[in-house]
Amino acid sequence: MNPVRPTGGVQDVLALRQEILARNTALREVHAATDDSQGAGETKVPGAGFADTLSTALRQVNAVQQRSSDLQVGYERGEVTDIAQVMLARQEAGVAFEATLQVRNKLLSAYQDIMRMGG
């Protein structure tokens, strides 16, 4: 019979957990630094505007799609060798586009509902 050593498995799980927490912290720091650098020239006013928020979101989706396109072209040229990275970028761009499309559909529906109320 094969004896199970729980201490080795527990140590592995704890080490993996610690690595995930460290990566999570690093990602948060990068995200915070990106937000700080983008917002440095802008002053945030509460309720600044729906159009500004929508415009920023569309620019972010465009950036994700451009990155995906750049990785795909790099892969085709042989500059990028990690197919998983290319496929992940393509999936991320697809999800971002689908989310944007759903937001557009909800906005259009809300607009149509408002226009019907006035009559």
CB neighbours (10 Å) of residue 65? 18
Residue ranges of domains in the chain: 50-119
Query: Best-predicted range by mean pLDDT among 15-24, 38-47, 98-107?
Result: 98-107
- Greater confidence (30 vs 62) lies with 62
By the 8 A CB rule, do 57 and 100 touch?
yes
What does the longest C-alpha to C-alpha distance in the chain come to? Answer: 79
- Mean pLDDT within 1-11: 55
Which contiguous run of DSSP H or E holds residue 61? helix 50-77
Helices 50-77 and 83-117 meet at what angle, rounded to 10?
150
Burial level of 26, CB count in 10 A (0-12/13-18/19+)? exposed
The model carries a pTM of: 0.55
